[in-house]
Structure 1
């Protein structure tokens, strides 16, 4: 390596070389991942694993603050660097990484106060950056549009060299001011403005904060940006730390088996210990391999039984990490009651996903069904939408409750979807049975595949004929029936199609096979139909269609006139549970405060 560096510098004397190791180390650095946990005895996060942003909070949303740089309601106030100098008495650099993947305006501001006076503020809100400061006794503002990287990421460095303060966005200088001595001794506070996004907290926006006890060179700034961009592209939560990026979580549960999936940021060997009680008596060893996403299946388990498990990992360089002891239950045998949860369109809001997870955990469902759009576009080049959004919101629940999924248009290329959900097969459709029910899980992205003669149509026809289950459920992402206002024609201007016209053959097939319920998402509202057959209400032999697309995506709305097939409409985030007890089924739908918004029963 030294020989190479010597030759390179000899041949190219005007080009400097700087490795990432030569970047100045911050005096303090915080990453705000893994902020969510389950309550009480189910909690597993430790201070060794997670730095909680809430620990730096000085005031919460109940605090009334009218004196801020944005004139927006303040959600919370933090002081991150209380024991480090940021008072403009000597050089420093502040670093912040923001993830703004929401539809409504949110933001933060860095404010420097001296005694009771605001001296300097830099704010990021609604895709704009505003700088303000006192100049000759007058508050002066300037504003410019922010330029996000990968649409949703913004990286900021605030550099003070002892004389000038400079703001860098994505490594480019966007603002600079010469400061006088009046700012010496000022205190930094961080404010969040999140009122327009329900359930959002500052850690959902601020992913990294750091302070350097010196100003940084242009070369160091370029190196930092390059390192951060590589980290985000790889979906890594930390750039250098050995860590679990995903899981472990439960993907597929049978009466005698359980499938677990996890992902580390680097190659590692693993020991999975498990058993019906503590101390854990059984174990499986896994050698280090090239695959960072690992899938294992535990076999020879007992049906309807609670198991405990722990994962111990070691990287090739000897770094170690372990999970807390987690739990799962194998599938119940036929004839036993069971309850499953339904979520959909989690998309880009881990804060909403977490609210759903907290509510569903209190129900202790036997398993979950996800109706697609796990991400908002987590295709091959957007891995961060899986590791930094989806699993951040749902991971604590699926580490204990298995989840069965279908792909949505947001997961459309199936690149990461298949690796994280290997039970779904090469093309994203499959069948599983639980108790007295069969679940036919479809990939509705290629809608022609679900038309008469298509591969999935033929497969579904055959699988339904084979199934002797008492209850039959079809699960897909797109909408056979819809009361939506504009996805299938703008109903404020003209009649709509009231559903995806490419799924008419599917409707005929499921109704001919007396499928009990069809679950789908795609539209971010709730709709339950009357029992339907042959485009008519049929209370005796009809199929019920349930659209439950409200677990995270930006809310949509219904058509101005009630559709003929609708039994219940609701606009708001929600989730469902379905309980099956012999010949009896009950569907319940809840809002995120736990309020019941719909219920329906079937008696065979």
Structure 2
């Protein structure tokens, strides 16, 4: 049985807000990041100011500024539930719980969602269903918000996820709609270089890739026929370095019983207008996933559910978390199943197999995928 311990943090805030604003000391959070067997991070944001921007028509918009805070815990006990309070002022505002990862190979579950960027009502309902599964953590396969440079988008994101994130670690993937915004890196505290990273839980290895890279805007002087080449080549050296890193991580963790890889762009698209793009992404990665025995590759980007299988790897598009759904008009030879539907995936990692339960917005399971543990030494 997990033990419940209490952590209290005494923090003083001087926010310089009005009386009404100061009644709420925390703007976003608290929420959990960087979970381990003996360590964890708790983050939150406070409002520090605002500015206005007025367009030529006289319309004024207010943009708020936030300050980020983080506390790092060390010396915790594995597989133990802790309560924390970042305010310690008698209120519930700064309270949450965190459960450290196990240091032994034991069953657990986690959840995958994707493309939560618009239709906040759908995003909210998905998170309500996810919360019922009580996952150890969640991975969002990218496009968390519609525009990563819009603070209002992030305000909506944290409002929807507040109750969930204060008790459950949240691992994001960079999508094209994050737009490489500094807000993303300010709000999330992630392993490695934060753009691509990995972590482990029990017998499973989790690798998050960045499919977007350091790409710049196409200059105005670039002619139409050269736009694609400019876009593809602008970040190729970065992606090559990431590929070398991935191979090293897979070699280092060759004894993992389960390997899950996440990135935003799909390798097998069933959306006709994106089939050629997905082939280019697939060609870049080559046979690295099958060669190292990766069992499951999860992505977003195409707003529906799609399951493909090729050379021992399950390629799953899970992007039904809130963005407008896409029609499926180009099933591929590798396609196993597909559906235009809002959904998430609850993954049960057992001792000898992992079971992926694909669940719709109303809590109904409409697909199930079983993956055997790798035979490793």
TM-score bracket, normalised by the shorter chain, equals 0.7 to 0.9
- Separation (CA, whole Å) in 2 of partners of 1:254 and 1:568: 35
- Using a 3 Å threshold, how does the CA distance of structure 1 residues 600 and 502 change in structure 2: closer, same or farther? closer
Query: Retained in 2: the 8 A contact 1:373–1:407?
Result: yes
Give runs of aligned pairs for residues 476-491 of structure 1, distance below 5 A: 476-486=263-273, 488=274
Give runs of aligned pairs for residues 319-334 of structure 1, distance below 5 A: 323=93, 325-334=95-104
Q: Does 2:364 align with 1:582?
A: no
1:452: how far off? 10
- Separation (CA, whole Å) in 2 of partners of 1:266 and 1:453: 37
> Where in structure 2 are there 5+ consecutive unaligned residues?
1-17, 50-64, 214-231
- Using a 3 Å threshold, how does the CA distance of structure 1 residues 356 and 259 change in structure 2: closer, same or farther? same
- Separation (CA, whole Å) in 2 of partners of 1:581 and 1:336: 7
Aligned to 2:287: 508
Aligned to 2:221: none
**Per-residue CA distance 1:394-416 (angstroms, 9 max, x = gap):** 22111111111111011122311
- Other structure's SS at 2:168 match: coil
- Using a 3 Å threshold, how does the CA distance of structure 1 residues 575 and 443 change in structure 2: closer, same or farther? same
Query: Retained in 2: the 8 A contact 1:306–1:328?
Result: yes
Q: TM-score, normalising length from structure 1?
A: 0.50
Q: TM-score, normalising length from structure 2?
A: 0.79
- Separation (CA, whole Å) in 2 of partners of 1:518 and 1:356: 21
- Separation (CA, whole Å) in 1 of partners of 2:35 and 2:238: 32
From 299, 302, 314, give the equivalent of 2:74: 299
1:507: how far off? 4.1
Give runs of aligned pairs for residues 262-277 of structure 1, distance below 5 A: 262-266=44-48
- Separation (CA, whole Å) in 1 of partners of 2:101 and 2:111: 15
- Separation (CA, whole Å) in 1 of partners of 2:338 and 2:357: 13
1:424: how far off? 4.7
**Per-residue CA distance 1:487-519 (angstroms, 9 max, x = gap):** x1xxxxxxx427251342314211211111101
1:348: how far off? 2.5
From 14, 24, 32, give the equivalent of 1:250: 32
From 105, 110, 121, give the equivalent of 1:335: 105
> Where in structure 1 are there 5+ consecutive unaligned residues?
1-235, 268-289, 315-319, 489-495, 534-541
- Separation (CA, whole Å) in 1 of partners of 2:41 and 2:98: 11
Query: Retained in 1: the 8 A contact 2:30–2:96?
Result: no
- Separation (CA, whole Å) in 1 of partners of 2:286 and 2:102: 30
1:313: how far off? 7.1
Structure ID, larger Rg? 1
Q: Does 2:289 align with 1:522?
A: no
Query: Considering only aligned residues, what root-mean-square deviation do their CA atoms show, in Å?
Result: 2.5
Q: Which has the higher helix share?
A: 2
- Separation (CA, whole Å) in 1 of partners of 2:175 and 2:70: 22
Query: Retained in 2: the 8 A contact 1:260–1:296?
Result: yes
- Using a 3 Å threshold, how does the CA distance of structure 1 residues 500 and 399 change in structure 2: closer, same or farther? farther
1:426: how far off? 4.3
Query: Retained in 2: the 8 A contact 1:418–1:424?
Result: no
Q: Does 2:127 align with 1:395?
A: no
Give runs of aligned pairs for residues 182-201 of structure 1, distance below 5 A: none
- State the number of aligned residues: 320
- Separation (CA, whole Å) in 1 of partners of 2:23 and 2:107: 44
- Using a 3 Å threshold, how does the CA distance of structure 1 residues 402 and 514 change in structure 2: closer, same or farther? same
- Using a 3 Å threshold, how does the CA distance of structure 1 residues 564 and 424 change in structure 2: closer, same or farther? same
Q: Does 2:229 align with 1:461?
A: no
1:485: how far off? 3.5
Query: Retained in 1: the 8 A contact 2:259–2:294?
Result: yes
- Using a 3 Å threshold, how does the CA distance of structure 1 residues 575 and 451 change in structure 2: closer, same or farther? farther
- Using a 3 Å threshold, how does the CA distance of structure 1 residues 439 and 585 change in structure 2: closer, same or farther? same
- Separation (CA, whole Å) in 2 of partners of 1:408 and 1:550: 14
From 154, 173, 198, give the equivalent of 1:406: 173
1:469: how far off? 1.2
From 200, 203, 211, give the equivalent of 1:436: 203
- Using a 3 Å threshold, how does the CA distance of structure 1 residues 412 and 516 change in structure 2: closer, same or farther? same
- Using a 3 Å threshold, how does the CA distance of structure 1 residues 507 and 400 change in structure 2: closer, same or farther? farther
- Separation (CA, whole Å) in 2 of partners of 1:450 and 1:333: 38
- Using a 3 Å threshold, how does the CA distance of structure 1 residues 453 and 241 change in structure 2: closer, same or farther? closer
1:245: how far off? 1.8
1:266: how far off? 2.8
- Separation (CA, whole Å) in 1 of partners of 2:236 and 2:354: 27
- Other structure's SS at 1:422 match: coil
- Other structure's SS at 1:499 match: helix
1:304: how far off? 0.8
1:239: how far off? 6.6
1:423: how far off? 1.2
Query: Retained in 2: the 8 A contact 1:475–1:519?
Result: yes
From 49, 61, 86, give the equivalent of 1:311: 86
- Separation (CA, whole Å) in 2 of partners of 1:426 and 1:332: 24
